[in-house]
Amino acid sequence: MTPNLYLWLIPVLPLVGATINGLFGKRFSRQTVSAIALGFCGAAFVMALWIAGQFSSLALPHVEKLAQWIRAGDFQVDFAFYLDQLSLIMLLVVTGVGFLIHIYSVGYIWEEGGFYRFFCYLNLFMFFMLTLVLASNYLLMFVGWEGVGLASYLLVGFWFTKDSAASAGKKAFIVNRIGDFGFLIALFLMIKHFGSVNFAQVFRIVGSMPAETAGAGLLTAIGLLLMVGAAGKSAQIPLYVWLPDAMEGPTPVSALIHAATMVTAGVYMVARSHVVFDRAPQALMVVAIIGTLTALFAATIGVCQTDIKKVLAYSTISQLGYMFIACGVAAYSAGIFHLMTHAFFKGLLFLAAGSVIHSVGGEQDMRKMGGLRHHIPWTFWTMTAATFAISGFPPFAGFFSKDAILWKAFSSPYGSWVYWAIGVFTAFLTSFYMFRLWFLTFFGEYRGEAAGHNDEHLHIANPSRTGAPAPHEHGHGGIHESPTIMLIPLVILALLSVCGGWIGSERFDKFLSPVLHAGVTANAQEEAAATPAPEPQEQSGSETLLTGISVLAAASGLFLAWLLYQRRPQLPQEIAHALGGFYETVVHKYYVDEIYAAVFVKPLIDGSTRILWQGVDRDVIDATLDNSAEGAREVSDAMRHMQSGTLRSYAGWIAAGAAVVIAYMIWTGTR
Amino acid sequence: MVPLSYYLVLSGILFACGVTGFLIKRNIITVFMSIELMLNGVNLSFVAFAAQWHALSGQVFVFFVMVVAAAEAAVGLGIIIAVYRTRETLNVDRVNLLKL
């Protein structure tokens, strides 16, 4: 007997908030709008906590069916929600970090036009994300999957009067669609071959299938297609290009959607489908390779970026690459662990970056910052915690998760020293670009002109804006610390970034093991029997060694950043000059956007313009219609003269017609 | 006995006269009279056939045509008077408002 947890309430609560704010928000004051948004989002968080409290007494996985959705023959899909250790962790991360970012947004977005619109979208995003996380079948998951894409589109293009924001939104949506295509085909394959998309059923059927070690088969195909979907949503090569552009959105959105939650949906999906991946080693290898390449590739781009948010965007892509490495070596728990710590510190980094941008009046270029640590001490200290966390210094959160991933990349049966080496090098790069950001922003002399102009804070005129006076006037010149409501989430996330990793990957793995190892036990035992386990002593010895190397990598990144950006600030210029063409290539992000534009976008636009528009639409469809209309007009123009209004001409026509009829009758009669 | 063809030729000539008059004359009264001529041309052929075939229906048709023609004459003359009062002309080419 399992208690009813009303799981469906968790996603629906934010939806209610979104509906109220969306329909009536225009008439509410800012206080009311934020109270509604925070209230419903907070209620979801409280429910998640309540469920976590009852968690130990539940029979897992806990499935609650709300209503029947589709029934066609034997195929059946329900609105049902699925709770196990994995979804619990995602639930807590999404609602917890989401709630904190909601709080932060109130301060950040207070002076913008479309206040209610922002919170409506934000709550809508929460609804879809929670649907994704709690879904008990792939189809409902896909609904959430598409919905977060929609929310992402709406929020990236929040300042829709700005052309770059509007097109960034479209880019995000379209690139995601390519990934979703793969996901959808994977769904079709499941329906065709398993007759179901329910997690429980699919995993039971897949669980009885042998691993496809000999050659690629159905499971490999499904795995690879799921990977395509995950690569789109989680911004992996080759579909990562939308994420840096998505930074056009408001910074809390970047924190919530493009760092902490939505982009990790792909990792969650891969971990959720681990039963499939465990039996498709080739698909796993592809996941690992893509993850490794993405981690390295994005990190190198991140090194040369000057926009503070772009650095964080590439860093996000790189960290997602780490999570995919973990999934690719079948160390899903390490991936999810990194997902969680990453949500803490990357969410914090974005929020702190937003606070920095806020404080210097909308400037995002790090070259125009500097010396801010005295002006905005709270932001500085929280961001420091996050920087150390992401760089992997013990005892911060990032150290534990990243170390777990690197160790698994090395030691897992699917792992390889190549993954590990590239991972460590990426860790070094990560540390370098993060401390570069840190030094450029907070140390040295302030390099910007007096703050006061607003770039990012584009005010959309809103005549109905009758909200209460803003708590602080913006653009009053001078660098100022953010309001308290923005600092509280920073502090909480900073604490989590410091302590979040202390659970330890071992305990985390144990917690998740009922989910992640349930399907593999048979295989794992076989493997264990086939290959004798290495000596425990030796293993822990090498683990310590590897940990030491990765910490060393992080420390050398810090040192190099200090050397280049603090001690000898003219040195980076010289190095860039010496590297010449290579540096140019990296600064231009390897020209990937340009290549995509030339290879995919331009032919598509040209084809659409020349063939579909000018050829088919204008010359065939339009021409047919226009010409027949023109013909009808010309014919009737000629006929018009028959209707002259003169009585005698009518009579003449009648007589002529009668004559023709008579002639015809005579002709037929005499024939 | 006069052969049927004579009647029919006379009927055709009367009808053709009516059509010609209708087409070439401009005065409404003359046009009206041309219509009567056509009707009576047709009437002649009806009675000729009736006499030839000893069938009464032809004669009955003629009565009907005469009744209708009388009614038409009454209405038509009324219209002509109305037209004359408003336009002060009986030229049909000047009465050409029935067009686009």
The model's pLDDT over A558-580, given as tens digits with 9 standing for 90+, comes to 888 888 888 887 778 888 888 87
Q: What is the pLDDT of residue A512?
A: 85
pLDDT, tens digit, 9 for 90 and up, residues A589-638: 888 888 888 888 899 999 988 888 888 889 999 999 999 999 999 999 98
Segments of chain B with pLDDT less than 70:
98-100
3-class secondary structure, A72: strand
Hey, are the CB atoms on B92 and A646 less than 8 Å from each other? yes
Percentage of the residues of chain A whose pLDDT score is greater than 90: 43
Residues of chain A contacting residue B95, judged by C-beta atoms under 8 Å apart: 647
Instruction: Record the tokens describing residue A554, joined without a space.
Output: 């992080």
CA distances from A610 to A174, A221, A604, A622, A623 (A): 22, 36, 10, 15, 15
Q: What is the pLDDT of residue A514?
A: 83
The model's confidence at residue A507, banded by pLDDT at 50, 70 and 90, is confident
Distance CA A127, CA A483 (A): 28
Q: What is the pLDDT of residue A590?
A: 84
pLDDT mean across residues, chain A: 85
Q: What is the pLDDT of residue A502?
A: 86
Q: What is the pLDDT of residue A338?
A: 92
A579 touches chain B (CB under 8 A): no
Return the residue in B15, B20, B23 with the most chain A beta carbons within 10 A, the one to mutate for interface testing.
B23
Residues of chain A contacting residue B32, judged by C-beta atoms under 8 Å apart: none
B60 touches chain A (CB under 8 A): no
Whose tokens are 């509280």? That residue is A488
Instruction: Name the DSSP letter for residue A616.
Output: I
B26 touches chain A (CB under 8 A): yes
Residues of chain B contacting residue A640, judged by C-beta atoms under 8 Å apart: 100
Q: What is the pLDDT of residue A366?
A: 85
Does the structure show a pLDDT above 60 at A310?
A: yes
B95 touches chain A (CB under 8 A): yes
3-class secondary structure, A208: coil
Cβ-contact A323, A506 below 8 angstroms: no
Q: What is the ipTM of this complex?
A: 0.79
pLDDT, tens digit, 9 for 90 and up, residues A250-260: 999 999 888 88
B96 touches chain A (CB under 8 A): yes
Instruction: Count other C-beta atoms under 10 Å from residue A505's C-beta.
Output: 22
Q: What is the pLDDT of residue A525?
A: 43
Hey, are the CB atoms on B96 and A645 less than 8 Å from each other? yes
Q: What is the pLDDT of residue A527?
A: 45
pLDDT, tens digit, 9 for 90 and up, residues A363-386: 888 888 888 888 888 899 999 999
Average pLDDT over residues A169-177: 91
Does the structure show a pLDDT above 80 at A400?
A: yes
- B38: distance to nearest CA of chain A, Å? 12
What is the model's pTM?
0.78
A636 touches chain B (CB under 8 A): no
Of B23, B31, B96, nearest to A644 by CB-CB distance is B96
> Could you give the angle at which helices A397-411 and A377-391 cross, rounded to 10 degrees?
10
Hey, are the CB atoms on B98 and A645 less than 8 Å from each other? yes
- B76: distance to nearest CA of chain A, Å? 14
Which residue in B has a C-alpha nearest to residue A642's C-alpha?
B99
Does the structure show a pLDDT above 90 at A74?
A: no
Does the structure show a pLDDT above 50 at A455?
A: no
Return the residue in B15, B17, B22, B24 with the most chain A beta carbons within 10 A, the one to mutate for interface testing.
B22
Cβ-contact A323, A409 below 8 angstroms: no
Residues of chain A contacting residue B80, judged by C-beta atoms under 8 Å apart: none
Lowest mean pLDDT among A70-84, A130-144, A527-541: A527-541
Which residue in A has a C-alpha nearest to residue B22's C-alpha?
A648
Q: What is the 3-state secondary structure (H, E, C) of A476-540?
A: CCCCCCCCHHHHHHHHHHHHHHHHHHHHCHHHHHHHHHHHHCCCCHHHHHHHHHHCCCCCHHHHH
A640 touches chain B (CB under 8 A): yes
Return the residue in B35, B37, B93, B95 with the most chain A beta carbons within 10 A, the one to mutate for interface testing.
B93
